[in-house]
Chain A
């Protein structure tokens, strides 16, 4: 999200929320940081950044790209994934002007926290509920899909509260367009997780 879309109060509140969430994530990861985790987090961040550059066309003249929160959470857990996604967003904002500096807090909140956690919680629940054989792929796909929809919904709420657009209209528009874009997220996440499972099974719990 670029600067200019969100009001100052909404940007400030989102920044405060994302700062709090990030502080908790750092504490949690500190408690059980394993030796392998830091370089792995760096590599995952680099991969998510690279994959996010791929915008795939979606019907109707729009495009989507990977968010990567659920993919990262499956490998390093949701707390570390929040940190990884935050690092990607910071570099995209500072180096490439991809996302505004004032909106950075909101972008971290939507993608690194709400999207990653929403998607991961659905993934974890489905993985537990469904039988093993179809359970894993279904959980990966739906969790990844949901992460995009819930991140977009959070962004829509912020746009509505900022007075940028009418709340109900922008919410329905964002959720429905991202329900289609999320299918791409689900497919890419499933492909990468299946690939990792084959070449590095110890990475996928």
Chain B
């Protein structure tokens, strides 16, 4: 995959993410809906053992509006992309033809 097509693909992801954040339905998802109907929604832990920096897809100090969600989404795309590359390089690449991959990532 060429550097240019990676950038174009990530831009498409950013547009998809921004549209998704702007138009997402606020209805509960399937599991939350069933949990509410069956009366076990209250068991859900309010927070993780470790605090997430952008819980509920909102950037701290930006409030809970659409702009905050869009920003969180775009930051998320950058983190997911680089995190996956990192994961693959650390855990998957170890004993395979590494020069070829290094070249392709640039």
A interface residues, Cβ below 8 angstroms from B: 1-5, 26, 29-31, 33, 35-43, 45-47, 49-58, 60-65, 83-84, 86-88, 90-98, 100-102, 152, 155, 159, 164-165, 169-170, 173-174, 177-178, 181
Contacts and interface: CB of A to CB of B under 8 A. Distances in A.
Given A5-B44, A33-B96, A42-B81, A62 B29 contact: yes
A57 B84 contact: no
A45 B84 contact: yes
A4 B73 CA distance: 26
A164 B43 contact: yes
A42 B88 contact: yes
Interface residues of B, number: 69
B1 A91 contact: no
Contacts of B45: 2-4, 100
Contact of B77 (A39, A41, A46): A46
B48 A62 contact: no
B25 A57 contact: yes
Given A2-B44, A170-B34, A88 B16 contact: no
Given A49-B76, A54-B23, A5 B16 contact: no
A42 B14 CA distance: 14
Contact of B16 (A4, A40, A47, A165): A47
Interface of B: 1, 6, 9-10, 12-14, 16-17, 19-21, 23-35, 37-38, 40, 43-45, 47-50, 52-57, 69, 72-73, 76-85, 87-89, 91-97, 100-101, 103-105
Nearest to A94: B52
B80 A87 contact: yes
A38 B105 contact: yes
A38 B83 CA distance: 11
Contacts of A64: 29-30
A3 B44 contact: yes
A29 B92 contact: yes
26 contacts: A4-B44, A5-B35, A38-B85, A38-B101, A39-B6, A41-B85, A41-B88, A43-B10, A45-B83, A45-B84, A46-B13, A46-B77, A46-B81, A49-B17, A50-B76, A53-B57, A55-B29, A60-B33, A61-B33, A88-B84, A93-B52, A95-B53, A96-B55, A100-B48, A152-B31, A174-B31
Given A46-B77, A46-B80, A63-B29, 4 more contacts: A3-B49, A49-B17, A96-B55, A177-B34
B30 A178 contact: yes
B93 A95 contact: no
